[in-house]
Chain A
Amino acid sequence: GDSVTQKQGQVTLSEDDFLFINCTYSTTTYPTLLWYVQYPGQGPQLLLKVTTANNKGISRGFEATYDKGTTSFHLQKASVQESDSAVYFCALVDRRTNAYKVIFGKGTHLHVLP
């Protein structure tokens, strides 16, 4: 079945550092790939979606693209801030049924030091 792999469990950066988080996916249908951000005590919030290979999704300074050849997609930000500290989940929409369930990666805890 469809799946997502997110191997980076924790990333620690300093303010103004470059952020790069990578995931790989597997699907038998056309992929709709998502990035969610979750702050403490809150539910996941949709940050970005990418539906076309090599086209960027951009939101709040974050960019996301995917590579069909390597079945990978990534999230990046040129200069992180302490307020970006959160858990970031990559995700895939399972389009095989009308349920449109979201398949989540394990999440990357981002800690940005002041």
Chain B
Amino acid sequence: GPKVLQIPSHQIIDMGQMVTLNCDPVSNHLYFYWYKQILGQQMEFLVNFYNGKVMEKSKLFKDQFSVERPDGSYFTLKIQPTALEDSAVYFCASSPGTGGAWEQYFGPGTRLTVL
């Protein structure tokens, strides 16, 4: 089936540094998402992106977070600066459009460890 790729699979950085998580969504999909899952807890919505703009963001999407998809390349989540509580697995998802906007395909996740 359709696949979403995420790069890297693991990232270890020091607190205060910047990190960029990359997502290669399913081609022709129009909606893009980031979710955060802290170990042992449920996955939570961070942000949704469509037509070059953030449509909705949760309270977890702090001011230090930003997303973009320049020229149809990777959909990225940037955290600058990082904090200890940002350690989690971040999942990217994409969905095709208004008819199937709810049908989101997830990547395998990027495990971020902030030291």
Contact = CB atoms under 8 A, between A and B. Distances in A.
Contacts of A106: 41-42
A64 B109 CA distance: 26
A43 interface: yes
Interface residues of A, number: 24
Interface residues of B, number: 26
B102 A43 contact: no
Interface string B58-95: 10000000000000000000000000000000010101
Contacts of B104: 46, 100, 102
Interface stretch (A13-21, A52-60, A70-78, A91-99): A91-99
Contacts of B56: 97-99, 101
B42 A93 contact: no
Nearest to A43: B106
Interface of A: 32, 34, 36, 41-46, 49, 89, 93, 95, 97-107
